[in-house]
Amino acid sequence: MSDVIKDLSELRLTYEKGELHEDQVDTNPHEQFLNWFNLALTAKLHEPYAMSLATADDKGRPHVRTVLLRGATEAGYDFYTNYDSQKGLDLAANPYAEILFYWAELERQVRIGGYVTKISLEESTDYYHKRPRDSQIAAHISTPQSGVIESRELLQQRFQALHDRVEQQSELNKPEFWGGYRLEPQHYEFWQGRPNRLHDRLSYEKVDAAWQIRRLMP
């Protein structure tokens, strides 16, 4: 049995890789996001498009998980999932969510919150057919997502059965229960780690049709 860490109070890092000043950021938060996101891509970080998605159900109970960003425009930030999943059920009851990007190597994170709606059937279908065939099959057999299944072997059997059945088909139809969502941003927060825990935090809040930038206490 491995040793149990009893005291975590001494585990800490110092952040010294950057600064974040109001006169250095774009006045448009989406453009500022793209600036940081493209730097993360250029730095070849591991899945910089991975983001934590936080939702809450109709009783206010939160749920968070990691999903992949699959579209980013000023209109919003897109991800895809099973509509009958926990996140799908949450969003049907409470269509407000937050996404969080954390790029540890750059000592940066970005929070984006806003209202979430389903994207069009055409967009969902187009993206579905861009996915690898095995991912398309997995979307069909992994339902209800988050539902209980007896074993890994049964999951593999379901996958293989559908794989064999559609092997000769040139195209696999998108499941009705699967598709995309778009988070329309209402606020952003950009965080840059700094020494002594005096981190830089800049928020963008939508005021009428303009974005207002504020510095937040660390």
| Helix spans in the chain (H) | 29-42, 86-93, 121-130, 133-141, 152-165
Instruction: Look up residue 98 and give its amino acid.
Output: E
Closest of 51, 36, 47, 128 to residue 82, by C-alpha:
128
- Enumerate the known binding-site residues for substrate: 12-15, 70, 127, 131, 135, 197-199
Residues of each annotated binding site for FMN: 65-70, 80-81, 87, 109, 145-146, 191, 201
Query: Are 213 and 27 spatial neighbours (Cβ–Cβ below 8 Å)?
Result: yes
Cβ proximity of 218 and 198 under 8 Å: yes
Does residue 186 sit in helix, strand or coil? strand
CA distance 80 to 57: 19
Which residues participate in the annotated binding site? 12-15, 65-70, 80-81, 87, 109, 127, 131, 135, 145-146, 191, 197-199, 201
Helices (H), 142-210: 152-165
- Amino acid at residue number 127: Y
